Amino acid sequence: MQTTEKTEPKLSELKTRLSEINDIEAAASLLYWDQATYMPPGGAAARGRQLATLQQISHSKFTEPSIGQLLEDLRPLEESLPYDSDEASLIRITRIKYETAVRVPAEFMAKFSMHRTQSYEAWAMARPRNDFALVQPHLEKTLDLSRELANFFPGYEHIADPLIDFADYGMKASFLRSLFAELRLELVPIVEAITSQKPFDDSFLSQFYPEAQQLEFSLKLIEQLGYDFHRGRQDKTHHPFMTNFSIGDVRITTRVYENDLSQALFSTIHEMGHALYEQGINQNYEGTLLAAGTSSGVHESQSRLWENMVGRSIGFWKFFYSQLQSTFPKQLGDVSLDTFYRAINKVGRSLIRTDADEVTYNLHVMIRFDLELQMLEGSLDVKDLPEAWNERYRSDLGIVPESDTDGVLQDVHWYTGQIGGMFQGYTLGNLMSAQFFEAALQSHSEILTEIEQGHCITLHNWLKDKIYQHGCKYTATELIRGVTGANLRIEPFIRYIRQKYGQLYTL
Amino acid sequence: MQTTEKTEPKLSELKTRLSEINDIEAAASLLYWDQATYMPPGGAAARGRQLATLQQISHSKFTEPSIGQLLEDLRPLEESLPYDSDEASLIRITRIKYETAVRVPAEFMAKFSMHRTQSYEAWAMARPRNDFALVQPHLEKTLDLSRELANFFPGYEHIADPLIDFADYGMKASFLRSLFAELRLELVPIVEAITSQKPFDDSFLSQFYPEAQQLEFSLKLIEQLGYDFHRGRQDKTHHPFMTNFSIGDVRITTRVYENDLSQALFSTIHEMGHALYEQGINQNYEGTLLAAGTSSGVHESQSRLWENMVGRSIGFWKFFYSQLQSTFPKQLGDVSLDTFYRAINKVGRSLIRTDADEVTYNLHVMIRFDLELQMLEGSLDVKDLPEAWNERYRSDLGIVPESDTDGVLQDVHWYTGQIGGMFQGYTLGNLMSAQFFEAALQSHSEILTEIEQGHCITLHNWLKDKIYQHGCKYTATELIRGVTGANLRIEPFIRYIRQKYGQLYTL
């Protein structure tokens, strides 16, 4: 026990230091939330500077050599404790993040950050003008910088691997490529089968739905699904997101289109899924690095599980549709449950990823993932990107954008410097959501009955117990294996799609 | 010019360091604003910690010896420049604040801060229970700590002087005591003359005024008065306040009572006055210590000038009353302008400072100021405070509270550790507002005509030019002398009161 006596004060010092850094990051998150919700335009210039200052202070405090020394001093304690004890996990996860943070020089971060802003500004001009040439030099520079960033982590198998690690730790380009290729092979024929049939009518979703009622209904909905308003709130923003300032304050935002009922409704459930994850983290982790979702993929698995597997299921609407009809009697009074259910699950070949249905969504994502890997490798030149993009849309989705605006310029990600570390999370999330949901149903078949009764207590508790409470104690890979007893695989997702869409269409 | 060549980089380094500190303080202010406006209850515990962390970081960065060294290195530059040049002022003001900050040990600040929280909690229990004994030991400790704080600044004339300096730099207890005594001598007979007359009817102000219309009207009002919504916004809070995160983002808050029209209306104009000051600061001062109002008194002079001299004037309502009547036709349709004007300027002997009218308000403040000075000196024991309080209300206002709840326990200030540094600002503000307003009218007699036309462009520009743009470059004393050509004195306020209330009552 001498180890413990010597290391206890060190552990407590580490927690104090991390808590201070966490406070700074919470303040930075609030600066961002405020910028996106309530800040008057005149605050913009100073806000950018304030955000940069707080991020710089937090980074510099986290990368102090004394943190490294503490982590070294704590090795004996870590090794004396079970791998998944809270203490060993805290030390392990902090070390992983510390070792990542110290490898990237502050000057590089500042340079990349400045470039990101310039590149974003070029994109904001280029997209409405359909002018890819405007962003081309910026994207080329982003690729150079991304490779430089990756090279701070030598010894990788693929140059994208270190970039993927930032968001989905431990996932490798080679694994993802073959996983995604398998998935594409399954999905393309399903999409073909569906789109050769008569499309569902969803025109009634585009009637006028007043904002106030949309907001009221969706707030009622997520309260019933388990979102804790004592520890959260919803505000309006241009792009919906989830953010948190502590485990006790996890907020979501939404946007409302008065001529599109599905926008606010499903984005609210989506962000609520992210929020349930963060609200469910063990309170003891407050102020440490463990108090966060474990990866982009696992986070997205929760938003998609709640949005799609729950929120677009027939059982869910068997309960809630009459309430929706009462809220919008003029618009939905004559629309049957079956017609509504089909409309919110309409599958089609479309150009815009963010509007895509569950079946085609991953095809959109995989196109981006493959192309960014090719660009990072150098096997695809930026100047040839628009053509490659259109070619892939033709082969995978059977549709070609008429302009780059609706093609290669549609997503902001690449143009804010996110290359090779972002898109995979969306498809990983979809695959994981199905694998987790299948495991939940195998343990608790009553989940589907409960959904038909308008609540998700068993499902929510199961997710809290298996996933949420652990924060980022386990990597995504460990979590999936631990929770589902198997490695990540495409079968549960394909089974889910075949079953749900097999009932909606002839497959 | 060798001086400049050597010192320019130092000045630029000082500005960079101050800008970083300013960013941290802006983030802390946002944490506070959010806590008071939108934060869900679950965020409270972490929020307290986050605020403390940011304040600690900001204090520690500001008190680094290297800041002191920079200020020393910049002495030659400061001395080579005119006193009120931006550069010399920046160095001078920063030095004053630095020398204050380094004298108070961080451990003392932490101790005092912890005590403040405990004392506040005791007060929050004691006030509704009318139980002064509950707060007595806390107030005694506050006095001990306040004396300890004062003693970090030896050489004072009165022990309250260093505490007054924090808020109203350069004002001395001896000066304020004799200034306030003079003022009391003038006010007491005026109050007696007024209150011997039949009170005005203001019962119609207590009808039902729906919140939405109250908010809409007051927002329209302050927009017309010059509040820049591009660089600000208004939200609801329990206690109204003004806060800012940059010169481009100066926000106010309000509260609405649906059974009291005057609450939201005048608190909105009051906070707008504070905000006009901060919005009017020279943009070049952004991120430095110059970008702030110069003292509590001068700040309050602006809130009171706009609230009372403009917002409760007959000319103002000659223009705006018909708009108010259109907003509330049922409630005010039959109420004449004259009746309304009398109601919002009704004078009475009352117990609660925050509800007091212009004439009696300073009597409330001076009671508190005198008593806190006596307690600091040790000539009044805390246990005898309630009796002394009641005695002063009897002699100065001719009214005695029936309970401590409406007496010595009514204000939060003393119970959050603010002893000897707070109340004087309110009366200083009233005096200064009259002295500034009189000077403005002497230069621009058209101000009164403009107010009757529903705008204040000349007044606002004059205030920007004479006061706002300078931030805290000049001390209150310098500013008053520079702007009005005279030292601070009570005559303009007494003239203002005699003139306005001489028309309303027989004096």
Condensed to tens digits (0 to 9), the pLDDT of residues A119-170 reads 999 999 999 999 999 999 999 999 999 999 999 999 999 999 999 999 999 9
Asked if A57 and B24 come within 8 Å (Cβ–Cβ), the reply is yes
In the three-class reduction of DSSP (H, G, I as helix; E, B as strand; rest coil), residue B250 is classed as strand
Give the C-alpha distances (Å, rounded to integers) separating B477 from A386, B169, B243, B470, B485. Answer: 67, 9, 24, 14, 11
Average pLDDT over residues A368-373: 97
Name the amino acid, one letter, at B393. Answer: Y
Strand blocks (E) in A22-108: none
DSSP symbol at A285: G
Q: Give the 3-state secondary structure of B290-344.
A: CCCCCCHHHHHHHHHHHHHHHCCCHHHHHHHHHHHHHHCHHHHCCCCHHHHHHHC
* Distance separating alpha carbons of residues A330 and A378, to the nearest angstrom: 56
Pick from B425, B423, B438, B426: nearest CA to B494? B438
Contacting residues for A164 by C-beta, under 8 A, at least 6 apart: A171, A172, A173, A176, A420, A421, A424
- Determine the pLDDT at residue B4: 65
Q: Report d(CA A158, CA A450) in Å as an integer.
A: 45
Q: Sheet harboring B234-236: ordered strands across? A: B234-236, B249-254, B242-246
A220 contacts A272 by C-beta, under 8 angstroms? no
Q: In this predicted model, what pLDDT tens digit does every residue of A190-244 receive, in sequence order? A: 999 999 999 999 999 999 999 999 999 999 999 999 999 999 999 999 999 999 9
Distance CA A41, CA A45 (A): 9
pLDDT at B2 over 70: no
pLDDT bracket for residue B421 (50, 70, 90): confident
Alpha-carbon distance of A229 to B42, in angstroms, equals 9
Question: H helices within B196-304, ranges in order?
Answer: 211-225, 261-279, 296-304
Please check the confidence at residue A1 and state whether its pLDDT lies above 80: no
From the CA atom positions of chain B, what is the Rg in Å?
23
- Average of per-residue pLDDT values in chain A: 96
**Given A271, A278, A307, A438, the catalytic residue:** A271
**Integer Cα distance of A78 and A4 in angstroms:** 10
- If you count them, how many residues does chain B have? 507
Query: How is residue A438 written in tokens?
Result: 């299948």
Active-site residue, from B271, B278, B307, B358: B271
Q: CB distance from A43 to chain B under 8 Å?
A: yes
Tell me which amino acid residue A255 is: R
Which residues have a Cβ under 8 Å from the Cβ of A64 and sit 6 or more positions away?
none
Interface predicted TM-score (ipTM) of this complex, two decimals? 0.94
Q: Which residue has the higher pLDDT, A459 or A238?
A: A459
Q: Is the pTM of this model over 0.90?
A: yes
| pLDDT at position A269 over 50 | yes
- Whether the pLDDT of residue B266 is over 90: the answer is yes
Distance from A89 to chain B by nearest Cα, in Å? 22
pLDDT in tens, B465-505: 999 999 999 999 999 999 999 999 999 999 999 999 999 99
Partner A contacted by B26 (CB < 8 A): yes
How far apart CA A183 and CA A190 sit, in angstroms, is 11
Q: Nearest CA to A24 among A67, A54, A51? A: A54
**H or E element in which residue B471 lies:** none
Q: Check the annotation: does B300 bind a ligand.
A: yes
* Nearest partner of A330 among A220, A210, A216, A221, judged by Cα: A210
Question: CA-CA distance, A161 to A155, in Å (whole number)?
Answer: 10
Question: pLDDT class for A5, splitting at 50, 70, 90?
Answer: confident
Q: What is the band of A46 on the pLDDT scale with cuts at 50, 70, 90?
A: very high
Cα distance between residue B28 and residue B5, in whole Å: 36
Give me the pLDDT at residue B28, please: 96
pLDDT in tens, A475-505: 999 999 999 999 999 999 999 999 999 999 9
Residue A298 has pLDDT above 50, yes or no: yes
Q: Known binder of ligand: residue B455?
A: no
**Residue found under tokens 């904001």:** A124
Q: What angle do CA A473, A479, A481 make, to 5 degrees?
A: 145
Residue closest to B95 by CA, chosen among B75, B66, B74, B71? B71
Compute CA B31 distance to the chain's CA centroid, rounded to the nearest angstrom.
21
Record: contact A50-B229, CB cut-off 8 A: no
Active-site residue A107, yes or no? no
pLDDT at A117: 87
Q: B234 φ, ψ to 5°?
A: -120, 135
Q: How far is CA A303 from CA A270, A433, A488, in A?
A: 4, 9, 18
AA identity, residue A267: S
CB-based contact A292:A471 (threshold 8 Å) = yes
Contacts of A23 in chain B (CB under 8 A): 46, 49-50, 53-54
How sure is the predictor about B205, in pLDDT bands with cuts at 50, 70 and 90?
A: very high
pLDDT of residue A7: 83
Provide the mean pLDDT of chain B.
96
Q: Which ranges of A378-423 would DSSP assign to H, the alpha helix?
A: 385-392
Give the residue among A455, A99, A463, A179 at the shortest CA–CA distance from A299.
A463
Distance CA B64, CA B66 (A): 5
Looking at chain B, the whole-number percentage of residues with pLDDT higher than 90 is 95
C-alpha pair distances (Å), B411 with each of A427, B85, B123, B257, B364:
58, 41, 10, 20, 11
CA distance B246 to chain A (A): 6
How would residue A3 be classed by pLDDT, with cut points 50, 70 and 90? low
Query: Shortest CB distance from B34 goes to which of A30, A44, A50?
Result: A30
* Count of C-beta atoms within a 10 Å radius of residue B82: 9
Q: Is B137 on the interface with A (CB under 8 A)?
A: no
Per-residue pLDDT of B298-352, as tens digits, reads 999 999 999 999 999 999 999 999 999 999 999 999 999 999 999 999 999 999 9
pLDDT tens figures, A51-90: 999 999 999 999 999 999 999 999 999 999 999 999 999 9
Residues of B in contact with A40 (CB under 8 A): 229-233, 248-249, 251
Q: Are B481 and B343 in contact (CB under 8 A)?
A: no
Amino acid identity, position A69: Q
Which amino acid would we find at residue B189? P
Count chain A–chain B contacts defined by CB atoms under 8 A: 129
pLDDT band at B457; cut points 50, 70, 90: very high
CA A136, CA A113: separation in Å to the nearest integer? 18
Cβ contacts of B445 within 8 Å, gap of 6 or more: none
Structure tokens at A97: 């993040």
A222: contact with B, CB 8 A cutoff = no
Q: What pLDDT sits at residue B1? A: 43
